[in-house]
Amino acid sequence: MERNMIPNCPVTKADIMHAEDIFEAKIGALQCKTVRKKLTRVVTTIHELPTEIIEHHSNVTIKADIMYINKIPFVITTSRSIHFYTAELIKNEKSATIATSIKQVIQLYCRRGFNIQSLHGDGQLKHIKNTLRMRQLQ
């Protein structure tokens, strides 16, 4: 009779060995037999923006802030008139990094025909005012 290593436990070493033989994955049998399937391509389309929106909301005011998700910084922006939100991951909180992120958002708006009137942010974004050369940063 085999002695149990754990007192008052009915499972023996032989039971564990039998379970390993039954349930253990046979790595040798799996190697080189799985086929990687080609992933389907994601297709994105850019739709034309209705001219009424650009005509009615051509001048846009943007609000920006830094938000942390699991201690990872993101620059979050929203426009007051059209309520368009953006979120961009930033690698650090240096002025140049934040300014580059906000410049990309401004370019996004400009490519779609909008004119950025002003940018609002809290004290954390105040130091990039000169970098962006915006009329108003509050």
Instruction: Determine contact, residues 60/115, Cβ cutoff 8 Å.
Output: yes
Res. 109: pLDDT tops 60:
yes
> How do residues 53-63 score in pLDDT, each as one tens digit?
888 888 999 99
Q: What is the DSSP string of 45-90?
A: --PPPPHHHHHHS-EEEEEEEEEEETTEEEEEEEETTT--EEEEE-
Q: What type of residue is 113?
A: G
| pLDDT grade for 135, boundaries at 50, 70 and 90 | very low
Q: Where are the domains of the chain?
A: 51-132
Q: Which CATH class is domain 51-132?
A: alpha beta
C-beta of residue 91 within 8 angstroms of C-beta of residue 97: yes
Mean pLDDT in residue range 93-121: 89
> pTM for the full model?
0.60
Q: Which residue carries 């940063």 as its tokens?
A: 137
| pLDDT for residue 75 is more than 90 | yes
Q: Which two tokens stand for residue 125?
A: 């974004």
The predicted pLDDT at position 90 comes to 93
Question: Would you state the pLDDT for residue 44?
Answer: 76
